[in-house]
Structure 1
Amino acid sequence: MTTSRDEQKKATREAILEAARQCFEVEGYEKASVRDIARAAGVSAGSVIHHFGSKRELLYATLFEDLEATMSEALSLGTSPPLAGQIEAMTRHIFACYGRRPRLSRVLLKESLFAEEPWASRFRAQTERLHGGVEGLAGDAVRRGELLPEVDTRLLAMAYVSFYYFALLAWAQGGHEDPTRLVSVQMAQHLRGLNSARTTGG
């Protein structure tokens, strides 16, 4: 009985999240109301507030959960070396998540920069996961001899994260239609001096 109640609660929560994603994307965050979202989800406005507390909390939850799942998928793609191709595949997978709901993504990007706790920590944790994933791939590249042994993989991952957010902001502002390519070009330039084959003339 408890399991059934928990499953129903989870199903209601998922229905509200999906309705919110659609309403925010179609109507915009400011225009979409809790009542609109409740109607689309087939629940009461009180149920929306019960599950999420406020419309802003619901905004954070909508894309955050999409990104969590997408990032987990991206970090476990298992794309074959070289490193540049692995990073490009991972980046494209993540940016596709933003691209599915561009209007919502742009709003959330702006809001997340000034998010208060606990969301600030949650968004930082996502960035740290991304950094850790790239650092791990770079470490593998060093071990197989693709990168020079003295390469600081942590700094390389920090450079990637910088390129990633630069491209994300450029895309959000309408300045670049293919953020993955922008990251890839920047990473290619960065990796050029770290590649062992280039240094040894191989």
Structure 2
Amino acid sequence: MSNESRKQPGVRATQKEATGKAVLEAAREEFERVGFEAANLRAIAARAGVSAGTVIHHHGDKRELLHAALFDDLDETLRRALSGMGPGPLESQLSALTRTVFGYYQRRPKLSRTLLKESLFADAPWAGKFTAQAGMVHGALAKLATEAAARGELRPDVNGALFAVAYLSFFYFALISWVQGAHGTPVSMVEHLVLQHLEGLRPTKKPSRRKSR
């Protein structure tokens, strides 16, 4: 077998991966441009430089393609955001996370509305995938809170898992408000809510005793 023949499977796999990424990016662009309902597979295929049959072969139908495009893009954003928070303090870490993830939503406002709806109400198997994605973020947030308590930023009795739920509640409330046009500065909203919540979790300072003369 020649060296060229040995390379072929690897080359095909690389080409397949590149085609898949091109299709997903084309889908995101088309969904943002015209909306999910108006988008069609032919236009997406043309944007990606492939045939409509190739798109169908990879993803089946438009809704499956939508879920794949949304999940893939959001997953990459969340992982980048979680790895890019840097060291404490906790409020700085959470601010970095909030700004990165909201930056993703704000770059594609029309697609964000679809993402919010589909990620919350997707059917199987995508429902499980989006739930696992949220679980990944929840676990990372719980770990941050636990580490902050160990550093003395929070009380030692603070429940990391509950803190993570609180942050996600703030985040999704701000996201829904922004998507509905009710609040124009969602990042600021989350940061203020988080800071207010953190104030109630700080260690209690014991009053200093004055020495009697």
Residue 49 of structure 1 and its aligned partner are, at CA, apart by: 0.5
Structure 2 contact 85–96 (Cα < 8 Å) conserved: no
| Greater relative contact order (Cα < 8 A, sep 6+) | 1
Structure 1 contact 171–178 (Cα < 8 Å) conserved: yes
Does 2:37 correspond to 1:30? yes
- Select 1:96's aligned residue among 97, 103, 107: 103
Structure 1 contact 193–199 (Cα < 8 Å) conserved: no
User: How many equivalent residue pairs?
Assistant: 201
Matches within 5 A, 1:20-99: 20-99=27-106
Q: Deviations over 1:147-200 (max 9, x none)?
A: 11111111111111111111111111111222221111111111111111x544
Structure 2 contact 85–94 (Cα < 8 Å) conserved: no
Residue 138 of structure 1 and its aligned partner are, at CA, apart by: 0.6
- Counterpart secondary structure, 1:150: coil
Task: Please tell me the root mean square deviation across aligned C-alpha atoms, in Å.
Answer: 1.4
- Select 2:11's aligned residue among 4, 8, 13: 4
Q: Deviations over 1:49-103 (max 9, x none)?
A: 0011110111111121111111111111143322111111111111111111111
- Select 1:140's aligned residue among 125, 147, 151: 147
Does 2:23 correspond to 1:16? yes
- Counterpart secondary structure, 1:50: helix
Does 2:146 correspond to 1:166? no
Structure 1 contact 66–97 (Cα < 8 Å) conserved: no
Structure 2 CA distance, aligned partners of 1:201 and 1:76? 39
Does 2:142 correspond to 1:125? no
Mark the structure with the bigger radius of gyration: 2
Superposed structure 1 runs of 4+ greater than 3 Å apart: 198-202
- Counterpart secondary structure, 2:174: helix
Residue 201 of structure 1 and its aligned partner are, at CA, apart by: 6.1
Q: Structure 2 unaligned runs (5+)?
A: 1-7, 209-213
Does 2:161 correspond to 1:151? no
Structure 2 CA distance, aligned partners of 1:168 and 1:80? 26
| TM-score normalised by length of structure 2 | 0.90
Q: Deviations over 1:30-64 (max 9, x none)?
A: 11100111111111111100011110111111121
Q: Deviations over 1:119-171 (max 9, x none)?
A: 10111111111111111111111001111111111111111111111111111
Q: Per the alignment, do residues 76 and 28 of structure 1 end up closer, same or farther by CA in structure 2, a change over 3 Å counting?
A: same
Structure 2 contact 99–187 (Cα < 8 Å) conserved: yes
After alignment, is 76-85 or 114-123 more displaced? 76-85
Q: What percentage of aligned pairs have identical amino acids?
A: 52
Structure 2 CA distance, aligned partners of 1:201 and 1:45? 71
Structure 2 CA distance, aligned partners of 1:200 and 1:14? 57
| TM-score normalised by length of structure 1 | 0.94
